[in-house]
Amino acid sequence: MKTRRERILGEVEHALELMLYYHRKEDDELPVGSIQEAVAAGEITAEEIVEAFGEMLKRSLLHG
């Protein structure tokens, strides 16, 4: 049986899959692979994405 911590981390992985693939399949402006391409082109860094996600998550958790 998975712990709550393991379930939460699984949800993080699922959210990442949604962001990078499943939600991109129908998105004409940001299709599958475009986020990876933007990182490769230097338009944005992985660290900037992580920082933005972290800040939004902290705001949501701390300020409900």
pLDDT of residue 51: 98
pLDDT of residue 28: 95
Q: Is the pTM of this model over 0.85?
A: no
Give dist(CA 40, CA 64) in Å, integer. 35
pLDDT of 64 higher than 90: no
pLDDT of residue 9: 97
Of the candidates 64, 36, 31, 62, the residue with the CA atom closest to the CA atom of residue 49: 36
How far, rounded to the nearest angstrom, does the alpha carbon of residue 18 sit from its chain's CA centroid?
Answer: 8
Q: Where are the domains of the chain?
A: 4-63
Return the SS3 of 26: coil
pLDDT digits (tens, 9 = 90+) for 4-60: 999 999 999 999 999 999 999 999 999 999 999 999 999 999 999 999 999 999 999
pLDDT of residue 33: 97
